[in-house]
Amino acid sequence: MHSRPAGYTRAQIVLHWVIAALVIFQIIFGEDIGPAFRAFRKGTEPAADALLSANIHVYVGLTVLVLAVLRMALRLRYGAPDLPPDEKMVMRYVAGLAHLVLYAAIFLMPLTGALAWYLGMGEIGEIHEIGKPIIIVVVAVHAAGALWQHFVARTDVLRRMLKPAA
Ligand code: HEM
Ligand code: HEM
């Protein structure tokens, strides 16, 4: 096994924060696609403003998918730094599980959304909706972990997601 890098590259960091901002935007405003989606499913024409809101959700979401592919490519190429050496095993699992769910979310949310939207698959839309509470809980745990590392444990874990490794 090759050794882990000392930190993230600038591109990895920019992608982390741009994706985070877009995902939070989607979570806050996601319901705005509802009226247009319901109109299409009933076979009626959505109002112009409903269609605009829907298009914003669709294109912001598809942007997340493109950035997620880029991000995964960089992750495979450069890897990620290890947690502080004295980090408890259980915390390593919690952090690792949160990262896994978040990576899954940035691929599966756009994919399930696209199946619902373009193919009118209502059941997939319901699966897509379940993503919302899951993401809220996992991002809360993830962000709390980052802040705890910084302010309580006083490690460089948050700093290395803000400043590239030299
Ligand atoms: C929807 C929002 C977010 C998503 C999808 C997300 C996703 C991720 C993922 C997948 C990783 C693992 C990186 C890797 O190992 O390749 C990561 C790392 C990290 N995230 Fe987030 N994140 C989000 C929001 C946040 C927020 C709000 C904070 C801070 C308050 C934060 C702080 C961090 C830090 C500090 C790391 C580095 C952890 C380490 O180096 O061990 N993230 N994030
Ligand atoms: C990061 C990507 C995405 C996130 C985080 C996200 C999040 C959300 C959220 C929070 C909702 C509202 C759920 C509710 O009403 O309880 C929603 C609904 C919806 N989204 Fe997304 N979305 C993403 C990408 C997409 C994409 C790319 C499309 C289409 C191409 C899409 C299509 C839909 C549809 C059709 C609904 C309505 C589902 C229904 O009412 O049954 N989403 N999304």
Burial of 100 (0-12, 13-18, 19+ CB in 10 A): exposed
pLDDT at 2: 61
Domain boundaries, the chain: 10-161
From the CB of 11, is ligand 1 less than 6 Å away?
no
Average pLDDT over residues 71-83: 96
What are the pLDDT digits (tens) for 134-162? 999 999 999 999 999 999 999 999 999 99
Which region holds residue 81: left if phi is over 0, alpha if psi is between -120 and 50, else beta? beta
Q: Is the per-residue pLDDT at 117 higher than 80?
A: yes
> Ligand 2, closest atom to CA 117?
35
Calculate the dihedral angle through the C-alpha atoms of 8, 10, 11, 13, rounding to the nearest 10 degrees: 60
Q: What is the CA(35)–ligand 1 centre distance, in A?
A: 32
Which helix (H) or strand (E) is 154 found in, with range? none
Contact indicator for 83, 31 with CB cutoff of 8 Å:
no
Question: What pLDDT, in 10s, does the model give residues 16-73?
Answer: 999 999 999 999 999 999 999 999 999 999 999 999 999 999 999 999 999 999 999 9
